[in-house]
Amino acid sequence: MTPFETALASPNIHVGVIGLGYVGLPLALRFAEKGQRVTGFDVDPAKAEKLRRGESYINYIPAETITQALAAGFSATTDFTKLAECDALIICVPTPLGKHREPDLSYVERSTEAIARVLRPGQLVSLESTTYPGTTDEVLRPLLEAGGLKAGVDFGLVFSPERQDPGNARYGTHNIPKLVGGLTPACLAAGVALYSKVIDQVVPVSSTRVAEMAKLLENIHRAVNIGLVNEMKLVAERMGIDIFEVIDAAATKPFGFTAYYPGPGLGGHCIPIDPFYLTWKAREYGVHTRFIELAGEINHSMPEYVITRTIEALNAQGKALKGAHILLLGIAYKKDVDDLRESPALELLDGFEARGATVSYCDPHIPQIPPLRRGRYAQTALPFTAATLANCDVAVIATAHSLFDPGLIAASARLVVDTRGLLRGQHDNVWRA
């Protein structure tokens, strides 16, 4: 057996998780829950300090879970020299797009370089960040081997894509099947041994590239189908048909149909971004991924469609968008989470303000919009009350949080633009978008 296979075969190992965000933190807590020693690494001192105090910064992870993990041996640090102490190192950092929609692997590369500086025989390195096929062996492997150690001989190297679904009460880290692809059979065996300690079902595949492509297929499948249903929404709206009723009706078919729902655009770190990792890589092989790019264009156009519908709704009441007070109901990209990444609600905010409207927002999960890469927002959330709803010219439902009472919205707001199908049935003051 290789040194890393031997190390990972031990019932108790030391796991290092790099990146303590929506993917890395739940994974680290799961390893701690199952009795493994865990060190979490992050470049943000504030995150590490909060965790050391037993505080959570993700709304669906209670502080009690952090406290229990600390008692079980979990620690958080910004000291990346401690990577040398770990038997397994799992990279869970962002993979955004550059300004020309090209892959930005800078976070992955910096994390890998930090590992390379302290890499020792017997360690296993696992990349979980979504990326294009070939990243593990074309980017990580050379960086890790620069010091003389060999992947598959001295250390293990695998790709195991994250499959987190923030806010999902049914599926969490432990019961979502885990794909693992190894650089060699020995790497694969070590990767399976690592994740089998904490995941109910581990699914081995033949290579890191298969695992990388499988993750992209999962997300592209969703992006394309959302693009399709968003286009169907435009057609249904022109025909005076409720697209949400149509979807619910079609979903009664027990085979051959999966329900996807339209919205104001795509959000989250995965679905709006990951398809373009494949379109970029496909060009290297002379392939133009027209279908994927078309879906991207449709989804990207949805915020502008919502703005247009809002203008139409205001015009029908003899009002202009310029000078109007817009209340965004929900600023998170997804129902019942505190995640703003790539949220289409921010595009709505920008678009309305650029056209002269005054915009405020209500989101029970995001009391204040933090500084983001795209700029700074000074807004703080207004309370979800009848008075707040009555005080705006139009309430735009951007995120269908469970705490948003449809009856209160319909009864209190003078005008509503519903992008999520929250208000069903006929309401004289409700426009679909």
Q: Give the integer Cα–Cα distance in Å for 366 and 355.
A: 25
**What are the strands, taking DSSP E only, across 128-243?**
156-159, 178-182, 202-205
Evaluate whether 38 touches 28 at the Cβ level (below 8 Å).
yes
Evaluate whether 345 touches 398 at the Cβ level (below 8 Å).
yes
Is residue 353 left, alpha or beta, with left meaning phi > 0 and alpha meaning psi from -120 to 50?
Answer: alpha
Evaluate whether 19 touches 51 at the Cβ level (below 8 Å).
no
First to last CA, the chain: 59
Evaluate whether 412 touches 389 at the Cβ level (below 8 Å).
yes
Q: Give the integer Cα–Cα distance in Å for 409 and 400.
A: 12
Evaluate whether 90 touches 24 at the Cβ level (below 8 Å).
yes
Using DSSP's 3-state secondary structure scheme, residue 326 falls into strand
Q: In the numeric block, which tokens belong to residue 8?
A: 């990972």
Q: Give the integer Cα–Cα distance in Å for 410 and 395.
A: 10
Amino acid code (one letter) for 354:
A
Catalytic residue among 86, 92, 187, 270: 270
Q: Residue 143 burial by CB count (10 A; 0-12/13-18/19+): exposed, middle or buried? A: middle
Using the 8-state DSSP alphabet, how is residue 431 labeled?
A: E
Residue 362 among the catalytic residues = no
Q: Give the integer Cα–Cα distance in Å for 344 and 334.
A: 10
- The residues carrying an active-site annotation are 270
